[in-house]
Amino acid sequence: MHSTPPRNANTFHRAERRIPMEIPVYLDGHRIVPGAESTFTENVSARGARVLSVRRWEPDEKLTFVSRTGEFRSSARVAYCHPLQGDGFAIGVEFLEPKGRWVVQSPR
């Protein structure tokens, strides 16, 4: 008889599959370090992205996410911030108010 392992309350289940894609973006709105940071995504979905950052962000912190082409922008929420080996962080951002054309569209 197989038993189901207990569900961890901290387990995060993503609603959509992420697509590995390096997109040049700006992050703005850090609470301590002013100014926009020019960086790249690691992977993307219609609802968010994993982004590399030199700054440490707090979960639930709000920021502005803008594609460097200017075709897309959104207020966003930091879902997580993980330190990387060496310098920097990987942050998960959830788009809150997307405007414009993003590289992945939501299914309708």
Domain with residue 73: its CATH number is 2.40.10.220
* 13 in any annotated domain: no
The domain in which residue 38 lies consists of 19-100
Q: Specify the residue for token string 């569209």.
A: 105
Domain count, the chain: 1
* 1 in any annotated domain: no
- Calculate ∠ Cα 15-19-20, nearest 5°: 135
Residue-level pLDDT, tens digit, the chain, 108 residues: 444 444 444 445 556 788 999 999 999 999 999 999 999 999 999 999 999 999 999 999 999 999 999 999 999 999 999 999 999 999 999 999 999 999 988 766
The whole model's pTM is what?
0.83
* 96 in any annotated domain: yes
* 62 in any annotated domain: yes
